[in-house]
Chains A and B, each alone.
Chain A
Amino acid sequence: MLRYRTQGILAVGLGIFAGGCFGDPDILTDLRPEGPPDVLVGMAQSVVSAEEHPFFCRYVNGAKDEKAPGFVIDAILGSQTVCPDVESEFAANDADPRGYAIRIMFDELLNADRVETLICDEDGACVGSLETTQPVTFMCGTTAVDYDGYYVPNGNNTTFPLGPSLLVQPLSLDIATGTTCTVTLGDNVVDKSGTTVPAAEAALDFKIADLALLETVPADAEDVADREVIDPDGEIEFSFNAAIDDASIAASEIEIVNGAGAVIPSTFYVDDSHASLDAIFVHGTADLPAGNYTVRIKSGAVIEELNGGTITFAANEDVRVVVE
């Protein structure tokens, strides 16, 4: 049997070579649990359309907070750039007077049990409620607004809806259009380490949209060929974003004019049978003869909604139709 020289040093047992990377990298989609909870976005959600648009975005030295949402995809409701990159490009959106909720998005998870109560049935299905925890103070003008809602720990700045967030749902809509409201985060809005939202960020202002004409049915058309044909006893509908106080409408503010420019006897009524919008319906007092007509809310007309908000028409609001 041959023997080997056994010179040399056993060159084994190097141990772990620390050349690899053992740390966790920064991930774009992660939240930011360091520091106090920051409010990144305030969104006004329309109960009617389910769309959400921002009324507040967090900017630092004029630039969007890196964790604030940019372009967010919503395949159903439509994608949007929630917070532009620079503050000067941001324009606040108003809340829909027909029905709205306020979503407040944070940069980290909250202590869920502090902000939300879970109400569960015998099968273990639960819904969230803010009624007991009351994490915010909700004021519109000098009026305190009762609310409920829930906390959503899900989501980040790329998901729709955004998250984590508080969704605050006012229990009544008896606030005038055009009113500025403030939602102020309370001391029980804390992150998992118990830190509250900085006082400078705790109050969020938003505005309930001014009383506005949403649409007319039929729509107006410049060309005669494009104008809607209505029945002689047909009605023209002016739809608004709030319930109209019919007592605020003077008969002189609405008229029907024929193709020769003559005013035709007309009347109107307010239909409050819809849950989310209200409309003024205008029609002739008698069947209209065939011809071209303009149904008009006159310039200077002031119309008031039931909660006191008003709209002043700076110009004639015309709907041109044809009767055959």
Chain B
Amino acid sequence: MKRIGLSFAMTVGVLAGAQIVDTQVSVAQSSTTGAVRGRIVDKATKEAVIGATVVVSGPALQGQQAEITDESGGFTITNLPPGVYVMTVFFNDSQFSRPNVLVEVGKQAFVSVPIDTSVQTTEVIELEGRAPIVDQGSTKTGVTITDEYTTRIPVGRTFGAVLGSAAGTAGDTYGTSFGGSTSLENTYIIEGINTTDTSKGFQSSNLPNEFIEETEVIAGGYNAEFGRSTGGVVNVVTKQGGNEFHGSVFGYFTPGSMVADVEPIVRQGAAISSETNLDYSTDLGFEVGGPIKKDKVWFHIGYNPSVRKSTLDRVTYARVDADGDGEVDITDEGFEDFDEVGRSPMSTTSKTHFFTAKINGAISQNHQFQISGFGNPRASDRAFYRVTGDRASQLYAFADGAYDGSLKWSSKFADNKTQVDIVAGQHTNYTHETPYFADGLEAKNIRFGWNRSLSDLAGFEGTQGGGAFAGCEDGTANDMNPGFVNCPVPFSTPYSTNGVGALDYLDMARSSLNAALTQRVKLAGHHTFKLGLDVEQTKYNARRYYTGGGSWTQARRSRSLPDQPGAWDLRTFVIPIPGSDPEDMAQAAAADAPCVNGLALCNHATSDGLRAKTTNRNLGAYLQDSWQIRPNLTLNAGLRWEQQTGYAADEVKGTTSVEGEIIPDVAFELKNQLAPRVGLIFDPTQEGRAKIFTHWGRFYETVPMDINVRAFGGEIINFNRVTTRSAADPSMPGGTCPEALNSFDQNVLDNCTVATKARIQFGGPTTAIAPGLDGQYLDEFILGAEYELMADFKMGVNYVYRDLGRVIEDISTDGGTNYLIANPGESFDDAAADLERQAAALRMDGDPSNDDTADLYEFRADLLSRVDEFDKPIRRYNAVVVTANQRFSKNAMLLASYTYSRSKGNFPGLFSTETGQDDPNLTSMYDLPDLMANRYGSSGLDRPHLLKVDGFYQFDLKKAGNVVLGASVRGESGIPHNALAAHWAYGPDETFLQARGAAGRSPFTYTADIKATYGRKMGKNTLEAFIDVFNLLNSQDQVDADERYTADAANPIVGGDASDLAHSKTIDPIFAVELNETPTYNKNFGNLNARQAPRSIRFGLRYTF
């Protein structure tokens, strides 16, 4: 076997007529590297060339990697950073060079090289060839995005913006949905570490495209090494250094003046609304990499500060009576006519500091390490204000972002047949909301929630309101229309004053360690076994508070008590007093409220709020084999095991619950979640030009930690409902709670001595867990085919079926008094029977002190026995996907797909697509049986048609430079809509009056973005100027509609239609009794309430060196 030297003769000749069959084989590799595999055969005899030395080198690799071909002529070189390589084969003193070997993240390039073994020359014989475009060794679906795409196609600034390029993806409320799953089900991996937000599953770490080497967007079909996701997996590798200095300096600017005017949304309005306009958005940055020591230590750093400035105009309107008939004028659309009477601008600025740093080191060819750090801290000045409120209640500072660090080590042994990879990582993300004004922390927010005029609220505006309410004049001598309210504000648009109200201060973190052992074995073909272990310790520290310790809301007028103007709700967090006895009069008098179903006493939380420090421990292990049975037949099989342990908040661990139990450290444990994966790839052409593939797999969710804080963190939300009544009413002792607005005073409200009319509490020290709780999972089946129609161009079609098999949710089987975290629709009868046996045993032991515990067990058994009375969760996604992909060649690139899909079910995923509630596994969707009706239907993520076309063409102007024209076209079906009502206890939009999706669908929309780039060489460097036009045709079609049929409470009309809606009856929200009244129809029901973003233009410059 020949061994390589470190330098080569550089005289190159071309071997004409050689035929090279390259087969891109994708087998699971490290998540940040790829590999090259292949065979060296004699060109004439096709026999294996044994003992040839294969060397790969390239700008992305420190040094070189080499291997000697085995008895089959085969070789495998792993752990190669993504990039383009040159493969050189040394045999019999001859050298054969094969350039343009493309290695991508998570893929293995299969390069089969026929050489003329009879040649004896000192020249380097260059072999022409290209990497095949059909991925032969993997059943993964999705796309890999490089800077070829991000520099030539109009896209957003960060890698998060490219996720939508994959077939079957669509935007949802919180990110990008994959295959009918909600975006909170995705996993985001950067540099081998999991950077997914631990609290709810958001994408927390984000980096500008200039820092990114490759983004692998995996929609499905992946092997056992990836887990903890029932959505998609996004795998990102940042740029690294090299033996030469390289990098870029770049800048972008989006002027607000070039954003097209927003088309108005015509609605039955109230007197107050808002317009948000971009002033400008800009960022300037650099990234540079190079050697610290050539072939040994490289570095790469980058910094990109970004600023976005916007202005929110709060606009006030008054009704119009132009014809003077004493009635409000009606527009052609049937709505009341309003004119603008005032406008108050408020400005906000958001600054993000993106950064990256990486060191790559090679101890030797077989031992390499990498240290990287990156982050995206953001601070927003005066952000996220509310429209209806005085400034004190509108403004708060918002800071969020993430910091990440990873350390990787990779070693090869045993002639490179054994590889060990270790990745240690630390991820931190945060959300900090603090009052903007210094005294804002102690101001209790007040919301006025019943029909009134803006004129009533003018006194709260102060000078900063700019006289915005002055044009209303209701009830004044200047009132031009005494017959009606000029500036009506309905109860559904409450006005806030006196304080911000609810804020969060959240810190999340994940420490992780991953280790993988890869072993290649030749046995009945070629096996690549991979055994992996990973451990995660996650944290979620939450402080959730109300400024002033609580929030007052003046509830709407109760129609069952027409003479009473309404009632006040005080919402607070309450904290149980340890060891308290509600029967003790002295203790009860000293406490703020009874709580936990009257079993304990509580105090209202101060402005410090509710604190919970929680942790989880997640374990994973997998064993997989990629078995190349024959050159054109590969079987990938693996089994993944996951376990998740969730811990109660430090604040409640070890304390005694009101039932007399010691709250354990472990809140829940999901054990032995076994996720098999099996895939088969067959190339009928045996030339790497086509494949037929299939994959089946089970995927488990990792429960986000929001459940730790909300269900095991001692959260109790208390609603005190106090009545207002006339001071002249002798039947009500004590003082009054003010009804008249002008007499409002927080101290008066705080000191209301009226007896509480009703108290509702949600939550408790901890929520019970159903014994035998199992993990939430999804099953996926894929069947597909691809074919390379011509060089660098392929088409494909595949069928995808995804079925949500089980969910974890909190449910109540006793009307919301007690909650249980269980798998709804599944039987817990065995667990219930076991509790019954335990209760019986306690009673039989004759010790009366055990009777309370026996009662508790019987009570819990009763709860458990009803879990299967809930509807089973259903979410089924069927899709047919057609793709066309041309890799950059002949000056062009194309990435296109059409997906026809249907997504139906009664459970959208980890957030509610109707209310936006983002409490994974804790939404209200399954809380009560009466909330379940009508929930089955077309999912809120259902878009039957998705068309995506991205591409560019490069014009070579020779010495004049080059021009690149890129475009991105999207066409997508609108989402289905619902007819919603309120639930008497849960509030707005919780009841499906009709079946899910039965209230029509938003229209099909399209957008076209273009990018024009002019580039010119400046020596070895390049200067480019470009312009992006987003939404070139300024399409501002409807993307959403008002789904609120009524703000009144009502039960579902199961399977009903419009004729049934007319006869619907309501539920009184205070007394929860049926009323013989049809609900008040929302005039905006079914009207559009959101449009596509208007056209915008972005300018940019980039200098690449």
User: Could you list which residues of chain A lie within 8 angstroms of chain B, going by C-beta atoms?
Assistant: 1-5, 7-14, 16-17, 19-22, 24-25, 27-31, 33, 50, 70-71, 73-77, 79, 109, 112-113, 116, 118, 120, 124-128, 150-156, 158-161, 163-164, 167
Q: Which residues of A contact B346 (CB under 8 A)?
A: none
Least Cβ–Cβ distance between A79 and chain B, in angstroms: 6
19 extra A-B contacts, CB within 8 A, seeds A11-B685, A74-B815: A2-B19, A8-B690, A9-B684, A11-B787, A12-B690, A12-B785, A14-B799, A22-B902, A25-B874, A28-B932, A73-B929, A79-B815, A113-B1059, A127-B1076, A154-B993, A154-B1051, A158-B929, A158-B933, A164-B1054
Least Cβ–Cβ distance between A119 and chain B, in angstroms: 10
Interface code B12-47, partner A: CB below 8 Å = 1, 0 otherwise? 000000111100000000000000000000000000
Q: Is B936 an interface residue (CB 8 A)?
A: yes
Q: Which residues of A contact B687 (CB under 8 A)?
A: 4-5, 7-8
Q: Is B148 an interface residue (CB 8 A)?
A: no
Q: Which residues of B contact A7 (CB under 8 A)?
A: 685, 687
Instruction: Assess whether A73 is in contact with B814, with CB atoms less than 8 Å apart.
Output: yes
Least Cβ–Cβ distance between A85 and chain B, in angstroms: 12
Instruction: Assess whether A12 is in contact with B797, with CB atoms less than 8 Å apart.
Output: yes
Least Cβ–Cβ distance between A158 and chain B, in angstroms: 4
Report the contact-size class of chain B (Cβ under 8 Å from the partner). 35 or more
Q: Name which residue of chain B comes closest to A78, CB basis.
A: B815
Interface centre among B19, B930, B1059 (most CB of A within 10 A): B930
Q: Which residues of B contact A156 (CB under 8 A)?
A: 930, 933, 1051-1052, 1054
Q: Which of A1, A20, A160, A161 contacts B876 (CB 8 A)?
A: A20
3 shortest interchain CB distances as A-B pairs: A8-B685, A75-B815, A73-B815
A128 CA / B1073 CA spacing, docked (Å): 16
Instruction: Assess whether A160 is in contact with B20, with CB atoms less than 8 Å apart.
Output: no
Given contacts A127-B1076, A154-B1053, are A17 and B783 in contact (CB under 8 A)? Answer: yes
A158 CA / B931 CA spacing, docked (Å): 9
Instruction: Assess whether B1080 is in contact with A125, with CB atoms less than 8 Å apart.
Output: yes
Instruction: Assess whether B929 is in contact with A29, with CB atoms less than 8 Å apart.
Output: yes
A22 CA / B874 CA spacing, docked (Å): 12
Instruction: Assess whether B1073 is in contact with A109, with CB atoms less than 8 Å apart.
Output: no
Q: Name which residue of chain B comes closest to A151, CB basis.
A: B1063
Q: List 14 A-B contacts (CB under 8 A).
A: A2-B19, A14-B784, A19-B799, A20-B878, A25-B872, A27-B936, A30-B936, A31-B1054, A31-B1055, A71-B866, A73-B930, A112-B1063, A156-B1052, A159-B933
Least Cβ–Cβ distance between B925 and chain A, in angstroms: 13
Q: Which residues of B contact A161 (CB under 8 A)?
A: 1051, 1074
Instruction: Assess whether B685 is in contact with A126, with CB atoms less than 8 Å apart.
Output: no
Q: Which residues of A contact B1059 (CB under 8 A)?
A: 112-113
Q: Which residues of A contact B1073 (CB under 8 A)?
A: 50, 76
Least Cβ–Cβ distance between A308 and chain B, in angstroms: 31
A5 CA / B686 CA spacing, docked (Å): 11
Q: Which residues of B contact A29 (CB under 8 A)?
A: 871, 929, 932-935, 1054
Q: Which of B787, B985, B1056 contacts A10 (CB 8 A)?
A: B787
Given contacts A14-B797, A159-B1051, are A73 and B813 in contact (CB under 8 A)? Answer: yes
Q: Give how many A-B residue pairs fall within 8 Å (CB-CB).
A: 197
Q: Is B214 an interface residue (CB 8 A)?
A: no
Least Cβ–Cβ distance between A94 and chain B, in angstroms: 21
Given contacts A109-B1055, A158-B930, are A116 and B1063 in contact (CB under 8 A)? Answer: yes
Q: Is B59 an interface residue (CB 8 A)?
A: no
Q: Is B1072 an interface residue (CB 8 A)?
A: yes
Q: Which residues of B contact A150 (CB under 8 A)?
A: 1065, 1076
Q: Which residues of B contact A11 (CB under 8 A)?
A: 684-685, 690-692, 785, 787
Q: Which residues of B contact A167 (CB under 8 A)?
A: 1074, 1076
User: Could you list which residues of chain B lie within 8 angstroms of chain A, going by C-beta atoms?
Assistant: 18-21, 128-129, 684-687, 689-692, 781, 783-787, 791, 795-797, 799, 801, 803, 812-817, 866, 869-872, 874, 876, 878, 880, 902, 904, 906, 928-930, 932-936, 985, 993, 1050-1056, 1059-1060, 1062-1065, 1071-1074, 1076-1078, 1080-1081
Q: Name which residue of chain A comes closest to B934, CB basis.
A: A29
Least Cβ–Cβ distance between A16 and chain B, in angstroms: 6
Least Cβ–Cβ distance between B1056 and chain A, in angstroms: 6
A293 CA / B899 CA spacing, docked (Å): 87
Q: Which of B21, B812, B906, B1072 contacts A27 (CB 8 A)?
A: B906
Q: Which residues of A contact B1077 (CB under 8 A)?
A: 125-127
A125 CA / B1079 CA spacing, docked (Å): 7
Q: Which residues of A contact B795 (CB under 8 A)?
A: 12
Q: Which residues of A contact B872 (CB under 8 A)?
A: 25, 28
Q: Which residues of B contact A20 (CB under 8 A)?
A: 781, 799, 801, 876, 878
Q: Which residues of B contact A163 (CB under 8 A)?
A: 1051
Q: Which of B19, B801, B928 contacts A3 (CB 8 A)?
A: B19
Instruction: Assess whether A118 is in contact with B783, with CB atoms less than 8 Å apart.
Output: no
Instruction: Assess whether A154 is in contact with B1050, with CB atoms less than 8 Å apart.
Output: yes
Least Cβ–Cβ distance between B1082 and chain A, in angstroms: 12
Instruction: Assess whether A75 is in contact with B1081, with CB atoms less than 8 Å apart.
Output: no
A159 CA / B933 CA spacing, docked (Å): 9
Q: Which residues of B contact A13 (CB under 8 A)?
A: 785, 797
Q: Which residues of B contact A17 (CB under 8 A)?
A: 783, 799
Least Cβ–Cβ distance between A28 and chain B, in angstroms: 5
A158 CA / B870 CA spacing, docked (Å): 10
Least Cβ–Cβ distance between B553 and chain A, in angstroms: 20
Q: Which residues of A contact B1074 (CB under 8 A)?
A: 152, 161, 167
A79 CA / B812 CA spacing, docked (Å): 12
Instruction: Assess whether B1071 is in contact with A159, with CB atoms less than 8 Å apart.
Output: no
Instruction: Assess whether A22 is in contact with B878, with CB atoms less than 8 Å apart.
Output: yes
Q: Which of A8, A19, A120, A164 contacts B801 (CB 8 A)?
A: A19
A3 CA / B795 CA spacing, docked (Å): 20
A126 CA / B817 CA spacing, docked (Å): 34
Q: Which residues of B contact A126 (CB under 8 A)?
A: 1062, 1077-1078
A1 CA / B1010 CA spacing, docked (Å): 33
Least Cβ–Cβ distance between A178 and chain B, in angstroms: 28
Least Cβ–Cβ distance between A185 and chain B, in angstroms: 18
Least Cβ–Cβ distance between A161 and chain B, in angstroms: 5
Q: Which residues of A contact B1051 (CB under 8 A)?
A: 154-156, 159, 161, 163
Q: Which of B18, B129, B796, B1056 contacts A153 (CB 8 A)?
A: B1056
Least Cβ–Cβ distance between B653 and chain A, in angstroms: 30
Q: Which residues of B contact A158 (CB under 8 A)?
A: 869, 929-930, 932-933
Q: Which residues of B contact A155 (CB under 8 A)?
A: 930, 933, 1051-1052, 1054
Instruction: Assess whether A109 is in contact with B692, with CB atoms less than 8 Å apart.
Output: no
Q: Name which residue of chain B comes closest to A45, CB basis.
A: B1074
Q: Which residues of A contact B1056 (CB under 8 A)?
A: 109, 153
Least Cβ–Cβ distance between B125 and chain A, in angstroms: 14
A31 CA / B129 CA spacing, docked (Å): 65
Q: Which residues of A contact B902 (CB under 8 A)?
A: 22
Instruction: Assess whether A2 is in contact with B128, with CB atoms less than 8 Å apart.
Output: yes
Instruction: Assess whether A109 is in contact with B799, with CB atoms less than 8 Å apart.
Output: no
Least Cβ–Cβ distance between B930 and chain A, in angstroms: 4
A152 CA / B1063 CA spacing, docked (Å): 7
Instruction: Assess whether A27 is in contact with B871, with CB atoms less than 8 Å apart.
Output: yes
Q: Name which residue of chain A comes closest to B865, CB basis.
A: A71
Q: Which residues of B contact A159 (CB under 8 A)?
A: 929-930, 933, 1051-1052
Least Cβ–Cβ distance between A224 and chain B, in angstroms: 25
Q: Which residues of B contact A3 (CB under 8 A)?
A: 19
Q: Which residues of A contact B928 (CB under 8 A)?
A: 73
Q: Which residues of A contact B799 (CB under 8 A)?
A: 14, 16-17, 19-20
Interface centre among A113, A116, A126 (most CB of B within 10 A): A126
Instruction: Assess whether B1065 is in contact with A152, with CB atoms less than 8 Å apart.
Output: yes
Given contacts A12-B795, A29-B871, A125-B1078, are A153 and B1063 in contact (CB under 8 A)? Answer: yes
A3 CA / B20 CA spacing, docked (Å): 9
Instruction: Assess whether B1063 is in contact with A128, with CB atoms less than 8 Å apart.
Output: yes
Q: Which of B813, B929, B1072, B1081 contacts A124 (CB 8 A)?
A: B1081
A237 CA / B356 CA spacing, docked (Å): 84
Q: Which residues of B contact A79 (CB under 8 A)?
A: 814-815
A146 CA / B801 CA spacing, docked (Å): 59
